[in-house]
Amino acid sequence: MFQVFYAGGIQGMNAYKVRVEADVSNGLPGFEMVGSLACEVREAKERVRVAMKNAGFPLPVARITVNLSPAQIKKEGTGYDLAIATAILACMGMVKKEGLESTAFLGELALSGEVHKTDGALPIALQLQKDGIQRLVVPCANVEECRMVPGLTVVPMRDMQDLSAFLRTTEEKRKEWEVRGAGVNAGQDRTDFMQANSEQNMLDFSQVSGQESMKRAACVAAAGFHHLLFSGPPGAGKTMIAQRIPGILPPLTREEQLEVMSIYSIAGKPLTKMRPFQAPHHTISPQALAGGGRIPKPGVLSLAHRGILFLDEMPEFSANVLEVLRQPLEEKKVQIARTQGVYRYPAEFMLVCALNPCPCGYFPDRNRCRCTEPEIRHYLGKISGPILDRIDICVEAAPVTIKDLDAPASGYDTKTLRVMVEEAREMQKKRYRETAYDFNGEVSGNDVKKFCRLGEKEQRFLEQAYEAGQMSVRSYHKIIKLARTIADLEHADEISVAHLAEAICYHSGKRLFERRNE
Amino acid sequence: MTNRNRIHIADWEIEREQSYAYWLMCAPIGDSAKSRLLLRFGRPSGVFEASEKALLDSTLSIGKKERWIAYIKERKEKNAKREYEELQTKGILFYPEYHPHYPVKLLSIPARPFGIFVKGKLPDIRQRSLAIVGARDCSEYGQYVARHFAEKMAQNGVAVISGLARGIDGIAQRAAMEAGGESFGVLGSGADICYPKSNEKLYRMCMERGGILSTYLPGTPPTPNLFPPRNRIISGLSDGILIIEAREKSGTIITADLALEQGKDVFVIPGRVTDRLSDGCNSLIRQGASLIQSPEQLLEELHIGYGKVPVTGYEEEEDPCEQGKESGKVQSDNRETFSQFTLEEQAFLQLFDLELLSIEQIRRKMVANSFLKNITLPQTMEMLMKFVIMGQLRAEGGYYAKMMSGIGDKK
């Protein structure tokens, strides 16, 4: 007897619907699985056999064949167990098939019969919904993420007993299952959104004393999607400020949330609805950053998608790791080539870097810093030109003294800054309504003239700044874009000299990297 | 006095003796032993042709004899000639102690070198010369002072002598040459080796507009033990030595001690007592070295300066040396307009010094200032840029400092 049910699989970022076919027929007793399966999928037969036995549904002494189609795609992951078990139960005549035509099953079975969480449930659910599936049976631990998908009813499944009961009842009774909560079995690590949220909410800019210029720079960077670099002595609060930047970005929209959560779901990481903040340690490998493995999983760059990638102690990162950043900074995605194809993961993040101005960290305070010029040049030289080129803002953090800690906090707190950022982004949205751009930081050189016009006075100011050696031809467009963002923050329609001056200030910090040879 | 312990060779014979002198210079014995040999045998060729026994008899006191004996045994007239020719093709001049070009000032110093190698030229005997030495990892203050003094010295015809090192040394030499003066670099390696590599440009400039001097054989790599002895040459060649920024127990202080031993004047630029980089300078002053506040004082001490440029010229706008230069002009324009700045702007400019300040540090100073308390951060940055463009402030990376126009200027 032959039965068909549906499940879903993941390849890179793309999910696809999988037809799970099972057949129980007379012949030499055995369990065969076909359909281009990776070893963890092939092992499903042992999990399913033992789980069913322990749940009180021993497999019939017959020849069982399971096929996962489309057969040309290599199947990965452990999410097919539930669909296989369902198909076999159906073959055994233990399922009321009416109403299950548009139901899909996702989940891994334990030998006890319990249903365990599976990676990538969210993108699979999104794809299955598009493919006409209306109901999705998932492990309790995956319920929350799948319920994010509009137009899809989600049924949490605890164990085999549950599954068998669900399959045997009538369609009316099944409706009751759809409203069931995830229950106590829910994986703590996956669904506790609230906890992560409150942790993020604890971080506020007002907790950082002083460092007004860094806060302002963070605000400008967040408003116009400019990449940011902090340079300063240890203990100046570079990391503290970086950690607080997600808080001043507007909350993720629903689409963005689905996008970000899909990546986390595939990577098997705890999900959050907040802006991601990724701060890899400087010993990270290029593979961990970009994503890797035989079947590539998303790396840190993709986990920072729509959020912040914070590189602390940037010169300590190995050169080949930093070079990995080049493609994503340009194309906003990571491409990983394997024999079976090219995997693309989105990686549109705001880069925030922090570094010390010299190996000891105290330059230009010559009383504390005894680094030689070549040492400093060598240290800063570890950051290559192309990476530096993509960073628009560079600010110096000043060392903090006890007196500063007592000083009253400046007017910048997370709430005010977020309002400023949101308003500035609103202005950009209007400006780039009919273009591919979202932010000032993304505008390419040719379009700068179109969107960021300068008056005569402003033009002359830039020329003067150029003559005074404060900017290069190379940085011309970047400064104008940056000035546009500053103008947006102040609700100004036209870029003024003040905006340009501030932009040049932010940009000239980078000239520390080109210190002249003396 | 100087003639008593060295030989005299007639001018027409000097060229013929050069290859033998170079052979003797390369000998693995000390400088004083070389001088003794010359005194005994009368001339380099005499030493070269002397018997092994005679040579060894006159160098009984030297320690390791093996290499010296081997050196004597291996001598061949052909080789000596060829090696001296090779030296000449490298463009390196060699002056042994009896040579008329050998710097007279070096004759009187303790442990004078037997010979000196030169690329470029030697300091003119009639020219005044000043050694400017200081810390390698110098502060902005040190850099500025070095540049300023070196320029003024160059403009007054004083040659600047130093070690072509990183920091104060190199900065002073470059500034002197850029101001049209001469500068001489004394190396702690062979004259054909540029160390540090980063000063390659300066090295070449020095070769053209002054000279590279060394007492070490060409090809000698720089090793730490070679530097202290070369410091005695730096001070020995100069009429005085100016110390800008030195830590306690630094190479610069050693140079100062050597200069005192040689009876040279030691001039010191004072620093703040909180600056570790000026500790050495300040304690030299405490010990009695002369404190220098302006280039004019220094020129006075060197007994020059009244001739070429009027001393008062530095305090006036019509400084003939500055007038030709564009930057000088901008500054003088600005100083006239200084009174046109608002009180706020004046107070803002008062915040700056030679020290590099980040925007955050500037803001902290502003918060403490009653005139500037209410200025916002964006306004601060606007003012900064304005003054940078006007030439009142200077920017280095994200740090800002006052653009200095002179030392001892009265506002």
Structural domain boundaries of chain B?
A: 11-88, 129-309, 320-402
Q: Do B397 and A213 touch (CB under 8 A)?
A: no
Least confident of A491-495, A500-504, B335-339, B370-374: B335-339
Number of other residues whose CB lies within 10 A of the CB of residue B6: 17
Whether A270 is in a domain gets the answer: yes
A502 touches chain B (CB under 8 A): yes
Please check whether residues A430 and A484 belong to one and the same domain. yes
Number of other residues whose CB lies within 10 A of the CB of residue B229: 14
pLDDT for residue A194 is more than 80:
no
CB B35 within 8 A of CB B114: yes
Please check whether residues A404 and A486 belong to one and the same domain. yes
Q: Residue B299: name the closest of B263, B267, B264, B325 by CA.
A: B267
CATH 3.40.50.20 applies to domain B129-309: no
DSSP for A342-410, written as a single string: EEEEE---EEEEEE-SSSSS-TT-TTT----HHHHHHHHTTS-HHHHHTEEEEEEPPPP-HHHHHSPPP
Question: Can you tell me the distance from the alpha carbon of B263 to that of B258, in angstroms, rounded to the nearest whole number?
Answer: 9
pLDDT value at position A296? 86
Closest CA in chain B for residue A408? B367
Q: Which of the two residues, A424 and A192, has the higher pLDDT score?
A: A424
DSSP A114: B
Closest CA in chain A for residue B168? A518
| CB-closest option in A210, A486, A508 to B397 | A508
Kindly list the residues from chain A whose CB atom is less than 8 angstroms away from the CB atom of residue B399.
364, 396, 512
Averaged pLDDT, A85-103: 91
Percentage above 90 pLDDT, chain A:
53
Kindly list the residues from chain B whose CB atom is less than 8 angstroms away from the CB atom of residue A504.
385
Q: Do B201 and A374 touch (CB under 8 A)?
A: no
Question: Can you tell me the distance from the alpha carbon of B175 to that of B146, in angstroms, rounded to the nearest whole number?
Answer: 8
Averaged pLDDT, A496-507: 92
What number of C-beta contacts closer than 8 Å exist between A and B?
Answer: 120
pLDDT tens sequence across A43-90: 999 999 999 999 999 999 999 999 999 988 889 889 999 999 999 999
Averaged pLDDT, A110-139: 93
Which residues contact residue A255 at a Cβ distance below 8 angstroms, ignoring those fewer than 6 apart? Answer: none
First to last CA, chain B: 51
CATH number of the domain to which A113 belongs: 3.30.230.10
Task: Determine which helix (DSSP H) or strand (DSSP E) holds B397, and give its type and residue range.
Answer: none
**Minimal CA separation from B372 to chain A, in Å:** 15
Q: A160-168 and A81-91 helices cross at what angle (nearest 10)?
A: 50
A501 touches chain B (CB under 8 A): yes
pLDDT tens sequence across A321-364: 999 999 999 889 999 988 878 889 999 999 999 999 889 988 88
Question: Can you tell me the distance from the alpha carbon of B388 to that of B352, in angstroms, rounded to the nearest whole number?
Answer: 12
Whether A192 is in a domain gets the answer: no
Please check whether residues A340 and A451 belong to one and the same domain. yes
A376 band by pLDDT with thresholds 50, 70 and 90: confident
Across the 411 residues of chain B, what is the mean pLDDT of every consecutive 10-residue run? Answer: 71 89 91 89 90 85 81 89 91 92 89 92 90 90 92 92 92 93 93 88 92 93 90 92 93 91 93 91 93 91 60 40 42 51 88 87 87 89 90 86 68 37
Question: Can you tell me the distance from the alpha carbon of A78 to that of A242, in angstroms, rounded to the nearest whole number?
Answer: 37
- CATH architecture under which domain B320-402 falls: Orthogonal Bundle (1.10)
* Alpha-carbon distances, residue B157 vs A95, B152, B182, B309 (angstroms): 106, 9, 8, 10
Question: Can you tell me the distance from the alpha carbon of A336 to that of A345, in angstroms, rounded to the nearest whole number?
Answer: 8
A504 touches chain B (CB under 8 A): yes
A405 touches chain B (CB under 8 A): no
Averaged pLDDT, A495-507: 92
Percentage above 70 pLDDT, chain A:
94
Cis status of the peptide bond prior to A29, with omega within 30 of 0: no
pLDDT for residue A479 is more than 70:
yes
DSSP B198: G
Structural domain tally of chain A?
2
pLDDT tens sequence across A251-304: 898 889 899 999 999 998 888 888 899 999 999 999 999 988 888 889 999 999
Phi, psi of A333 (to 5 degrees): -155, 165
Which residues contact residue A319 at a Cβ distance below 8 angstroms, ignoring those fewer than 6 apart? Answer: A382, A384
Q: Which of the two residues, A401 and B246, has the higher pLDDT score?
A: B246
**Minimal CA separation from B143 to chain A, in Å:** 10
Please check whether residues A491 and A402 belong to one and the same domain. yes
* Alpha-carbon distances, residue A486 vs A246, A494, B385 (angstroms): 19, 11, 16
pLDDT value at position A201? 67
Q: Do A216 and B377 touch (CB under 8 A)?
A: yes
Q: Residue A265: name the closest of A7, A6, A10 by CA.
A: A10
Question: Can you tell me the distance from the alpha carbon of B312 to that of B326, in angstroms, rounded to the nearest whole number?
Answer: 21
Q: Are strands A277-278 and A308-311 parallel, antiparallel or unpaired?
A: parallel
Please check whether residues A416 and A362 belong to one and the same domain. yes
Q: Do A512 and B359 touch (CB under 8 A)?
A: no
Closest CA in chain A for residue B383? A501
Question: Can you tell me the distance from the alpha carbon of A131 to that of A111, in angstroms, rounded to the nearest whole number?
Answer: 31
A496 touches chain B (CB under 8 A): no
**What three-state secondary structure class fits B185?**
strand
Kindly list the residues from chain A whose CB atom is less than 8 angstroms away from the CB atom of residue B397.
396, 508-513, 515
Q: Which two tokens stand for residue B341?
A: 């700045």
**Minimal CA separation from A18 to chain B, in Å:** 57
- Length in residues, chain B: 411
| CB-closest option in B140, B275, B398 to A512 | B398
Q: A497-508 and B377-390 helices cross at what angle (nearest 10)?
A: 80
Whether A306 is in a domain gets the answer: yes
**Minimal CA separation from A313 to chain B, in Å:** 18
DSSP A316: G
* Alpha-carbon distances, residue A464 vs A374, A469, A500 (angstroms): 31, 9, 12
Question: Can you tell me the distance from the alpha carbon of B259 to that of B237, in angstroms, rounded to the nearest whole number?
Answer: 10
pLDDT value at position B284? 94
ipTM above 0.90, yes or no: no
Question: Can you tell me the distance from the alpha carbon of B98 to that of A349, in angstroms, rounded to the nearest whole number?
Answer: 74
A397 touches chain B (CB under 8 A): yes
**What three-state secondary structure class fits B65?**
coil
Kindly list the residues from chain A whose CB atom is less than 8 angstroms away from the CB atom of residue B396.
511-512, 515
Question: Can you tell me the distance from the alpha carbon of B372 to that of B374, in angstroms, rounded to the nearest whole number?
Answer: 6
pLDDT value at position B325? 42
Tell me the pLDDT of chain A averaged across its residues: 88
pLDDT value at position A472? 82
Q: B168-178 and B140-155 helices cross at what angle (nearest 10)?
A: 40
**Minimal CA separation from A248 to chain B, in Å:** 19
Residues 345-374 of A with CB under 8 A from B: 364, 366-367, 369-374
Task: Find which of A499, A508, A510 to mutate to test the B interface (most B CBs within 10 Å of its CB).
Answer: A508
**Domain ends where: A159, A187, A215?**
A187
Residues on chain B bordering chain A, Cβ-to-Cβ distance under 8 angstroms? 136-140, 143, 166-167, 170-171, 174, 196, 198, 201, 274-277, 355-356, 358-361, 363-364, 367, 377-379, 381-382, 384-386, 388-389, 391, 395-399
pLDDT value at position B139? 87
Please check whether residues A153 and A210 belong to one and the same domain. no
Q: Do A213 and B358 touch (CB under 8 A)?
A: yes
Please check whether residues A110 and A215 belong to one and the same domain. no
Question: Can you tell me the distance from the alpha carbon of A376 to that of A357, in angstroms, rounded to the nearest whole number?
Answer: 7
CB A3 within 8 A of CB A119: no
pLDDT tens sequence across A455-467: 999 999 999 988 8
Q: Residue A336: name the closest of A369, A378, A299 by CA.
A: A299
Angle at A99 between CA A69 and CA A97, to 5 degrees: 65
Q: Which two tokens stand for residue B261?
A: 């031993």
pLDDT value at position A408? 63
Distance of CA A61 to the CA centre of its chain: 48
DSSP for A120-134, written as a single string: THHHHHHHHHHTT--
DSSP for A123-170, written as a single string: HHHHHHHHTT--EEEEEGGGHHHHTTSTT-EEEEE-BHHHHHHHHHS-
pLDDT value at position A200? 61
Cis status of the peptide bond prior to B96, with omega within 30 of 0: no
Which residues contact residue B327 at a Cβ distance below 8 angstroms, ignoring those fewer than 6 apart? Answer: B391
Please check whether residues A115 and A223 belong to one and the same domain. no
Please check whether residues A210 and A147 belong to one and the same domain. no
Helices then strands, counting H and E runs in chain A, come out as 24, 18
Averaged pLDDT, A6-17: 91
pTM of the predicted structure, to 2 decimals: 0.78
pLDDT for residue A183 is more than 80:
no
Cα torsion B209, B213, B218, B224: sign = negative
Q: Residue A155: name the closest of A179, A173, A171 by CA.
A: A179
First to last CA, chain A: 86
Kindly list the residues from chain B whose CB atom is less than 8 angstroms away from the CB atom of residue A372.
136-137, 166
Please check whether residues A307 and A390 belong to one and the same domain. yes
CB B277 within 8 A of CB B135: yes
Task: Find which of A365, A373, A512 to mutate to test the B interface (most B CBs within 10 Å of its CB).
Answer: A373
**Domain ends where: A160, A187, A214?**
A187
Domain that holds residue A436: 197-514
Beta bridge partners of A156: A138
Please check whether residues A249 and A349 belong to one and the same domain. yes
The residue type of B352 is F
| CB-closest option in A232, A470, A497 to B395 | A470
Phi, psi of B332 (to 5 degrees): -65, -35
- Burial annotation A62-92 (CB, 10 A radius, 16+ → b, else e): bebbbbbbeeeeebbbbbbbbbbbbbbbbbb
Q: Which two tokens stand for residue B122?
A: 């030697």
Q: Residue B246: name the closest of B137, B351, B331 by CA.
A: B137
